[in-house]
Homo-oligomer: A and B are copies of this chain.
Amino acid sequence: MVANIRDVARIAGVSVTTVSRVLNHHPYVQEEKRQAVLAAIEKSGYVKNMNAVNLSTGQTGMIGVVLPFTDHPYFAALLKGLAEEARAHRKKLVLFQTDYQADQEIEALEMLKHKQIDALIFCSRSSEWQVIKPYQSFGPIVMCEEIQEDVSYTFIDQYQVFLNALHYLDQKGYQQIGYCIGRRSGTNSQARERAYRDFLKSRQFPVNESWIFENCYHVQDGERVLEEISVATQRPDALLVTNDQTAAGILIKAQEKGFSVPEDLGVMGFDNHPIAGMLSITTIELPLEEMGRKLFRQSLKQEISKEEVYVKLVERKTV
C-alpha cells in the first residue's frame, strides 16, 4: 500500500493540516515540525497526490472529448489530430464515447463543472445547445459545427459544400439525386438537408422522400441502401453519400446486383478515406486531422473563436 498524507502525519507526530502546509510551502510552520514532516515523507515513500496540486493550480491538464464512436474513420481521423495536438501541448485527452446518448454528454459536462477536466470538445452531440450553454461558465467548450451562438467552433460550411456537390452531379447529367446520411438531426445534417431541398427547388427536380437514406455509417449500411434501391419502383440515378464507408458498401452491392457505376448510378462519397482511393470513389476530402488540431487549440483559450476549414473535390471514377 502506498503511503498517504495521514501516514506521513502519523509518522511525523503532527496533524494532517501541518503536513499539508509543509507540502504547500505554507509560511506558518515551525521549523522543527517541518523537519519532522520531511523526514516522515522520506521514510514512508510518500508521493504527493497530483490532485492536491490541482487544488492550487485549478488545472488538471486534461481536456474532455465527446464523440459518438471511436472506431469510425471519420472520428478516428478527428481524434488523431486532437491527440497529436494534445501531445504537443503536454495535455491529456479524456474520452467520452457516447453512442449519441445524451446522458453521457451530461456526464462530460458535469466533469467540467466539477473541474475534473479543464475544457470540453464536442465532435458531435445529441443534446440541445440550451442544455450545454450554462456549462460554459465552468471552462471552455468547443464545438465541431457552425452554430449561431457565442461559443468557439471549427466548422465546414456544410450547406455550401453539399450544394456544390449537388451541382457537380447535376452538371454530370444526373437528375434524380438522392442522399445518404448518418442521422437527420444535428446542425450539420440539417444544413445538408436545407441545401438538398433548395437545390431540388432551384432545378425543379422531383422531391422523393424515399431517396433520403438515414443511419448510414458503415459498409453494411451502403449494402442495405443498394438492396433497397434495387427493389424500388422509382430509383435515384445518383447518390450523394456522406461517408466513404457507406459509398463503398453501395459499390460492392451494385457490382453483385449488376448495376453499372457511374452509368446506372453515380456515387459521390465524403471524407476521402483510404477505401475511397482503393475503390476509385469520387469524393469530397475533409481536412479532419487539421480540424482536430484546431479544435484542440481552441479548447486551451478562454476567448471565443470561429475557425473555418475547407474541403477538396477528388474526382475519380464513380460519377
Point out residues on A near B: beta carbons under 8 Å: 2, 4-5, 17, 47-52, 54-55, 58, 60, 62, 69-71, 73, 76-77, 79-80, 83-84, 86-87, 90, 92-97, 104, 107, 111, 113-116, 137-138, 218-219, 245, 248, 252, 274-275, 277-279
**Contact call B92/A93, Cβ cutoff below 8 A:** no
- Inter-chain pairs besides A49-B114, A51-B115, 13 sampled, C-beta below 8 Å: A17-B17, A47-B114, A47-B115, A49-B115, A51-B116, A62-B94, A70-B76, A70-B83, A71-B73, A93-B94, A94-B94, A219-B277, A275-B275
Q: Counting chain B CB atoms within 10 Å of each CB, which of A50, A77, A96, A107 scores highest?
A: A50
Q: In the bound complex, how far is the Cα of B114 from the Cα of A60, in angstroms?
A: 12
Are B54's CB and A51's CB within 8 A?
Answer: yes
Assembly CA distance A248 to B48 (angstroms): 50
Closest to A96 in B: B92
Nearest-Cβ distance from residue A286 to partner chain B, whole angstroms: 14
- Cα A145 to Cα B219 in complex, Å, equals 31
Q: Which residue of B lies closest to A49 (CB)?
A: B115
Contacts of A55 in B (CB 8 A): 5, 49, 51-52, 55
When the two chains form their complex, are residues A80 and B87 in contact, meaning their CB atoms are under 8 A apart? no
Cβ-defined contact, A71 with B76, below 8 A: yes
Q: In whole angstroms, how far apart are the Cα atoms of A138 and B62 in the complex?
A: 20
CB neighbours of A54 from chain B (8 A): 49, 51
Chain B residues closer than 8 Å to A252, beta-carbon distance: 278
Chain A to chain B: the 7 pairs with minimum beta-carbon distance, closest first: A50-B114, A83-B97, A71-B80, A71-B76, A51-B51, A93-B95, A51-B54
CA distance A47 to B277 in the complex (A): 51
How far is it, in angstroms, between the C-alpha of A114 and the C-alpha of B47 when the chains are bound? 7
Bound CA span A115–B1, Å: 13
> Does the CB pair A113–B47 fall under 8 Å?
yes
B51 near A137: Cβ-Cβ < 8 Å: no
Determine the residue in chain B with the shortest Cβ distance to A83. B97
A139, closest chain B residue (CB):
B2
Measured CB to CB, the closest approach of chain B to A247, in angstroms, equals 12
Q: Which of B5, B48, B83, B219 contacts A95 (CB 8 A)?
A: B83
Q: Which residues of B contact A69 (CB under 8 A)?
A: 80
CB-CB nearest in chain B for A67: B83
Quick check: B79 and A87 within 8 Å, CB to CB? no
User: How many angstroms from the CA of A96 to the CA of B61 in the assembled complex?
Assistant: 13
Q: What chain B residues lie within 8 Å of A52 (beta carbons)?
A: 51, 55
Q: Verify B80–A114 contact, CB threshold 8 A.
A: no
Q: Output the least CB separation between A267 and chain B (Å).
A: 15
Question: How many angstroms from the CA of A111 to the CA of B93 in the assembled complex?
Answer: 13
